[in-house]
Amino acid sequence: DDEVSFITIYFQIAINKSTVSHKILVICPYGIASSKYIVNRLRSVLPKYDDIQSCSLSNLKQINMNNVDLIISTTSEYFNSQIPVVKVSPFLDNIDYANIFDVYAKNVFIKTPRLNETIKSNKIKLSTLKKYIKPKYLFFKSALNSKKECMDFMIDILQQNKAVKSGFRESVYKREELGDTVLENSVALPHGDPATVINTSIIIMTLTNPIKWGNNYVDMIVMLAVPNNMESEFNQIVLEIYDLVSNKNIINEIKKIANRADFINSLKE
């Protein structure tokens, strides 16, 4: 117990130096009292800037998960989410605290500034790209197994958001038939005919395992959808993507990211 307490205190001191706000969701099966208890305990040990909220399993579908950095749960229920999850007891013992701080430090606290500093140190400007980065179009550590699965998934997302027309899917596949859209550092850049695009959209996806993409293997995909009347924007977006992709350190940091909030925070000035 003494050793666990020491580890907990060590992480608390380090993490409490942070002034970046993160969103933490506490999920309990039913009880309001138990969730409030856990939230209050967490607020006493995690950074004061963090937004800690609770919800029941039945209300989970009503929660916007786009900006959630960490889930702390008292249930063993599986969450189909790319967000890191810590399973805890309803009373939060020392082992629970140690597990929370460990996951928090590795997945929330450490990664965001590392990517941010790498981008800044390389003097890379992403002013145009930032305009079109949206949480709903970011997918990290996806467990998809083929080029077709990845492209269909991303195209489906664009269609669901009414960002592209019905012919977009066919145009993406036709472009791939002309030649691989693989860039440097195992990154693919599929895109479709501008005539089939309604709104400029960028989908970014990283994979848990590399997949075959033509004659290459990729574990990061950036799908572009830019309409005809945005040609200058398209050119600038592609240039900025190339700046990112050509830097191995930046790409390696992006591929480590596990949730959307980390990436969004890394793009802030």
Q: Are 83 and 23 in contact (CB under 8 A)?
A: no
Q: Which of 18-22, 56-60, 119-123 has the lowest mean pLDDT?
A: 18-22
DSSP state of 263: H
Query: Per-residue confidence at 80, pLDDT binned at 50, 70, 90?
Result: low
Dist. CA 118–CA 165, nearest whole Å:
37
Whether the model pTM is above 0.85: no
The answer on 156 and 57 residing in a single domain is no
Output the pLDDT for position 1.
Answer: 47
CA–CA separation, 177 vs 157, rounded Å? 22
Q: At 260, which CATH number?
A: 3.40.930.10
Measured CA to CA, the distance from residue 71 to residue 85 in angstroms comes to: 5
Q: What is the pLDDT of residue 190?
A: 95
Same domain, 117 and 155: yes
Do 127 and 222 fall within a single domain? yes
- By CB neighbour count within 10 A (0-12 exposed, 13-18 middle, 19+ buried), where does 263 fall? buried
Question: In this structure, are residues 195 and 166 in contact, taking their beta carbons and an 8 Å threshold?
Answer: no
Q: Could you say which of 68, 88, 109 is where a domain stops?
A: 109
Q: Give pLDDT tens digits for 102-156.
A: 888 877 765 554 677 777 777 888 888 888 999 999 999 999 999 999 999 999 9
- Do 197 and 237 share a domain, yes or no? yes
In this prediction, residues 29-39 reach a mean pLDDT of 80
According to DSSP, residue 235 is labeled: H
Q: Strand, helix or coil at 168?
A: helix
pLDDT on residue 264? 82
User: Cα(112)–Cα(115) distance, rounded to whole angstroms?
Assistant: 6
- Residue 59 pLDDT: 81
CATH code for the domain in which residue 67 is found: 3.40.50.2300
What is the number of domains present in the chain? Answer: 2
> In terms of domains, do 104 and 169 share one?
no
- Identity (one letter) of the amino acid at 60? L
Return the closest-CA partner of residue 194 out of 170, 238, 228. 228
Mean pLDDT of 191-212: 94
* List of long-range contacts for 41-48, beta carbons under 8 Å, 24+ apart: 41/92, 42/72, 42/100, 45/8, 45/12, 45/97, 46/15, 46/16, 46/104, 47/15, 47/16, 47/18, 47/19, 47/20, 47/22
Give the model's pLDDT for residue 246.
87
Residues 101 and 47 in one domain: yes
If one compares 19 and 41, the residue with the highest pLDDT of the two is 41
pLDDT for the residue numbered 261: 80
Which range (107-116, 159-168, 196-205, 234-243) has the least confidence?
107-116
What is the residue range of 200's domain? 112-266
Specify the pLDDT at position 231. 82
Say if residue 104 is in the same domain as residue 118: no
105 and 116 share a domain? no
Which of 63-72, 177-186, 249-258 holds the top average pLDDT?
Answer: 177-186
In the listed set 58, 82, 109, which residue is the last one of a domain according to the structure?
A: 109
Q: Under a CB-based contact definition with an 8 Å cutoff, are residues 133 and 267 in contact?
A: yes
> What's the Cα-to-Cα distance from 81 to each of 86, 94, 135, 164, rounded to whole Å?
13, 26, 14, 25
How confident is the model over 209-247, as pLDDT tens digits?
999 998 899 999 999 999 998 888 888 999 999 988 888
Cα angle 134-54-35, degrees, rounded to a multiple of 5? 160
Question: Contact, 101 vs 114, CB < 8 A?
Answer: no
DSSP collapsed to 3 states, 36-58 = HHHHHHHHHHCCCCCEEEEEEHH
Q: Which of 109, 144, 171 is the last residue of a domain?
A: 109
